[in-house]
Amino acid sequence: MKTERSEKPEARPAELLRKPGPRRGREHAIRGIPVCPGIAIGPIFDTTEVPTEAPRRSIDTAQVEAEKGRLAEAVSLSRKQLAKLKTRLSVLPEEAQEELAPLLDAYVLMLGNSRLLRGARKRIEAELLAAETAVGDEAESIAALILAARDDDKPGLQRRAGEVREIARRLTRNLTSTPFRSLKGVPEGAILVAEELTPADAALLDPTRIAGVATDEGGADGHTAIMLRALGIPAILGVTGLSESAERGDLAVLDGATGTIVLRPGEKTMEKGRAALAAFAKERAKLAKLRRLPAITTDGELVELQANLEIPAELPLIAQAGAQGIGLLRTEFLFMNREDLPDEEAQLAAYTQVLEAMGGDQVTIRVLDWGGEKDMQALSEGVAPTHSGPNPALGLRGLRLLLKRPELLEAQFAAILRVAERGPVRILLPMVTNPSEVKAARDIYEKVARRLRRKGIAVPDKLPDLGVMIETPGAALAADAIALEADFFAIGTNDLAMYTLAVDRAETEVSHLYDSLHPAVLRLMQFATEAALRLRMPVSVCGEMAGNPRLVPLLLGLGIRCLSMNASAIPRVKQAVRALDIADCARFARRVMEQSDPARIHELVLNFETGAEKG
Ligand code: PEP
Ligand code: MG
């Protein structure tokens, strides 16, 4: 499921991969990356292609060159997608590889100096057609010529015509940012299988209908994973070869905690799956009883457990989980799956809904963090850079984009300031590397507050706190300098690990290197935490580490007393907090921080025992 500008290969055209599959009909277990715990038993629903029909469009003479440029960009993106698909062939059975490799080569040839592209460019110039219209017309005219040829090999002709249409569809999708797959018609209780889901795709899933999700691509802390956890859908990502093996309608058992999916399970596996499903429900009921109990250590230290919110649909879950406020409201949802931008009023309505639902608990609103693998259609035209650049994660992401387009930041600040009268809010700045960025954001913040006051709009005398995400090595190492400009810190361990280790958080191929427990990441976290604590400035962890109960002793030992996580993780984390003693945690953290080998740190974390457990 892709929209434009991704360089990853999107789902293959259905006709491209009619797969022999590993011994069809037999039970087949595949492992992936565990992303959201829970058991799903149900039929596979592999997502289907959406026909790409771009509306016909004409252009002016003045637009010809730009249109040819758009076509060239789409060609280059399509080539990259196909090259990546080719590298993926190795996971397929040999027969499938033999069949597909020449086909992919043919597609790549059609993206060279081909009749299709020459014809499309000519149509742009001579007929003043938009690139997607020109490509569609030219492909249809070539396909008609092929089909009209005098040749007895009718299936061969149809295949060749199909290939031309297929490459035209790919170009059209890349020209129009049309999603590659449709989620419509997913039957209730199904396990959704896709080659890849974007965070925006995941946001559209209905957790009451979908039993589980499994995809070929993706990593544990990518935004798609975060979204799936937020929705509480049992999920595994990075299941290499899955869509080659799974067929729509196959029964499957998915275990989101172990990261396994068993296709066409036999009776024994089914029995085990049913037992695991019942055990999971029982444990959930047990954890629900913790809701009203405080998150307090055995020696009386209170720990604040807050929720991360990705979409408003999670609000009831947050209430059920017993969160003490929202430690990270990712506002990207406001910009997803829409054509236009949400204005100040629309944002105000959304923030009001959240604040009211939280009934007086603190809400930390992070301003838009566009960029990296978050692809938002609302931003892809007009606002976001037309080019995401060679390395989007290092480009105009987060606060960088907002400072370049201050009108976006102003609208967001204004909406937050207006809602601040209704309850305690804080504002969080994403992707900061330099104290000057915080200063610049604060200048805009204060200017917006003055403007609102001038207009007679009530704004609190003391403006809501303005905090900084510590999620780049630069910010962590300059935390003492940044702390002087900030009111609080929230440590974003997802990006911190990604940027420190130079490992894309959503990339399956390098997921084995993505490790938040790497000593380099932990040292940065420690440095930033200490910088905040020295100034008695609030500091929290809001990356995915915060929701892992096994990591609570280490985080408390490092001095963290506020954790913000996906709501469904709160009960387990609370259970962990309530079994810990702060002095034990501090000793443990010192021991961990002495280690230089990540594997040893994992071992220590895995084997940590509370005082009570040691007896
Ligand atoms: C992080 O990077 O750890 C974080 C919390 O922000 P996001 O996951 O939204 O990038
Ligand atoms: Mg981040």
Each residue's pLDDT tens digit, 240-258: 888 778 888 999 999 999 9
Q: How large is the angle between the packed helices 64-88 and 94-110, nearest 10 degrees?
A: 170
Mean pLDDT for 537-558 is: 97
Give the pLDDT band of residue 105 (cuts 50, 70, 90). Answer: confident
Q: Name the residue at shortest CA distance from atom 8 of ligand 1.
A: 494
Predicted confidence band at 52 (pLDDT cuts at 50, 70, 90)? low
| Rounded CA separation 2/275 (Å) | 36
Asked if the model's pLDDT at residue 381 lies above 80, the reply is: no
The mean pLDDT value for 398-425 works out to 95
What is the distance between the alpha carbons of residues 573 and 586, in angstroms, rounded to a whole number? 18
Query: Percentage of residues in the chain with pLDDT exceeding 90?
Result: 61
Residue with tokens 């963090």: 369
**pLDDT category, 19, cuts 50, 70, 90?**
very low
From 346-350, 370-374, 512-516, the region with the lowest mean pLDDT: 370-374
Give yes or no for residue 543 CB within 6 A of ligand 1. Answer: yes
- Average pLDDT of the chain is 87
- Checking if the pLDDT of 101 tops 90, the result is no
36 is catalytic: no
For the cut 90, the answer to whether the pLDDT of residue 4 exceeds it is: no
pLDDT value of residue 2: 36
pLDDT of residue 85: 67
Answer whether residue 111 shows pLDDT above 80: yes
Residue 18 has pLDDT above 50, yes or no: no
Residue 222 Cα to ligand 1 midpoint, Å, equals 9
More confident residue, 547 or 5: 547
Torsion angle in degrees (nearest 10) through CA of 198, 93, 511, 374: -10
Q: What is the pLDDT of residue 26?
A: 83
Query: For ligand 1, is residue 310 a contact (CB within 6 Å)?
Result: no
Q: Report which of residues 165 and 251 the model is more confident about.
A: 251
333-359 average pLDDT score: 90
List the catalytic residue out of 28, 36, 542, 585: 542
H runs (alpha helix) in 198-343: 199-203, 223-231, 242-245, 267-288, 315-321
Global pTM reads 0.73
- Our answer on whether the CB atom of 426 is closer than 6 Å to any ligand 1 atom is no
Percent of the chain that is helix, strand, coil (3-state, to 5): 50, 15, 35
Q: Tell which wins on pLDDT, 470 or 108.
A: 470
In short, whether 494's Cβ falls inside 6 Å of ligand 1 is: yes
